[in-house]
Structure 1
Amino acid sequence: MIDSLPGYAGSRPVRVGNLADQQVQLDVFGPVVELVAHLAQATGRVRDVDWQLVTAMASAVSQRWFEPDHGIWEERDVPRHHVYSKVMCWVTLDRAVKIAEAYGREADPSWVPLRDQISQDVVKNGWHPDVQAFTTAYEGSDLDAASLHVGLSGLIDPSDERFQATVTAIEAELRSGSTVYRYRRDDGLPGDEGGFHLCAAWLIESYLLIGRRTEAEELFQQIVDTAGPTGLLSEEYDPIAERSLGNHPQAYSHLGLIRCAQLLSA
């Protein structure tokens, strides 16, 4: 850390480097295998090199899904059993099985029972009745916008009352006007951060899945309005000061917005 210098708008601490290379993030496999599934659907085939990647990632999940990790947000804290990470492990196996079925590839016979085991594990340990939501991790009652993927991924049906309750809980605790915070818990860093446009996009998609189209359209327009004259979105948005924060422009903010635009226009 550089103690003698402040960051943007007085932000501290100023860090050199990134500890992510020393962390475990078990969520990373799911989005990659899902991308291969989308690519196969678009091209009508699965290349050998892509299938090799899928099988390697499914194998990694099989060996490590039960471990705690640092989660999607790379928190500088002790590893936990993050709901989002478990869901992405499930996605890895679920999409691998579906790719094999659709394109004549040979799936490992262990994938289906393990996929079902992970699903049961998430439903049993990720749902907290006292909070009426799927929480950040098996340990604790704090909320995280990433847990919306329990329904967004298809692990549970969007009509499931537990997913609808999770949407309501995250909306109540993490949404602030045009943005949605990743979480509200103490992450060991001083000060407050803004909401994440990507998290707002997840909430829009969740609204659509549970039949709340009006709220989805309203939040979508609010995100668009934060772009300003450049038409570009930052990583975060401060709803109090009404200013952009974080990386600018941020690719995944735009990807989230584009996906929501596609869903709303369907």
Structure 2
Amino acid sequence: ADWTMVQAMAEAVSRRWHEPDHGIWEERHAPRHHVYSKVMCWLTIDRAIKLGEQFGRELDPSWVPLRDTIATDVLKNGWNDEVQSFTTAYDGDDLDAASLFVGLSGLIDPADERFQSTVTAIEAELRSGSTVYRYHRDDGLPGDEGGFHLCAAWMIESYLLTGRRTEAEELFGQIVAAAGPTGLLPEEYDPVAERSLGNHPQAYSHLGLIRCSQLLSR
């Protein structure tokens, strides 16, 4: 049953990976070719291949070339020479923390200069002290938001992958401190007012923290 589900997911990717979408954050704008979405399509096919190889399943012959096609598409269209970073989508130069998954997923070697440059660019644009914003752009919604603890966790892992352990440890300590006396993390954090924002507690903030603690303990 699990393999049937994997095949269905791979089939969905094969039919729709080339379509624009609203991205991980479901923005209220016209669909775009989001880097994160393309990377997740690549990841689906890559893991389907690895699962099939590990458990002796018959692989669809189209999967390997499809994986290569998606990777080539991301590396060609997702990278922006002007900002020296993988951007939010193929059609602009704005940045998004989710684009860190180009390296976090394994699509590109973390030692690749393009990933290291992306980490630096997103850090400069979206990190503010103890937190990392999803993006800085009009998303069709009123008001401002804080940084996302999950995005900070992605940054910690990116630091580790690019050999910046000191920065990873420092940011991890800041996230832990933000939990306060309850030991619980919210969805967002306002680094100016130093207060929690959004849903509280937030499961994926804790999942990000747990993953980083595991990585740092190795």
What TM-score, normalized to structure 1?
0.82
Map 1:165-180 to 2 at 5 A: 165-180=117-132
Partner Cα separation in structure 2 for residue 246 and residue 100 of structure 1: 40
Map 1:25-174 to 2 at 5 A: 49-174=1-126
Paired residue for 1:239?
A: 191
Counterpart secondary structure, 1:86: helix
Paired residue for 1:37?
A: none
How many residue pairs align between the two structures? 218
**Structure 1 unaligned blocks of 5 or more:** 1-48
Aligned Cα RMSD in Å?
0.5
Provide, for residues 114-133 of structure 1, a one-character-per-residue CA deviation record: whole Å limited to 9, x for no partner.
Answer: 00000000000000000100
What letter is aligned with 2:79? W
Paired residue for 1:228?
A: 180
Partner Cα separation in structure 2 for residue 189 and residue 90 of structure 1: 30
Paired residue for 1:210?
A: 162
Counterpart secondary structure, 2:29: coil
Select the structure with the greater relative contact order (CA < 8 A; seq sep ≥ 6): 2
1:190 CA drift (Å): 2.0
Partner Cα separation in structure 1 for residue 188 and residue 126 of structure 2: 13
Counterpart secondary structure, 2:182: coil
1:106 CA drift (Å): 1.1
Partner Cα separation in structure 2 for residue 226 and residue 78 of structure 1: 35
Asked which structure has the greater CA Rg, the reply is 1
What TM-score, normalized to structure 2?
0.99
Partner Cα separation in structure 1 for residue 114 and residue 80 of structure 2: 10
1:87 CA drift (Å): 0.1
**Structure 2 unaligned blocks of 5 or more:** none
Percent identity of equivalent pairs: 82
Provide, for residues 72-117 of structure 1, a one-character-per-residue CA deviation record: whole Å limited to 9, x for no partner.
Answer: 0011111000000000000000000000001101110000000000
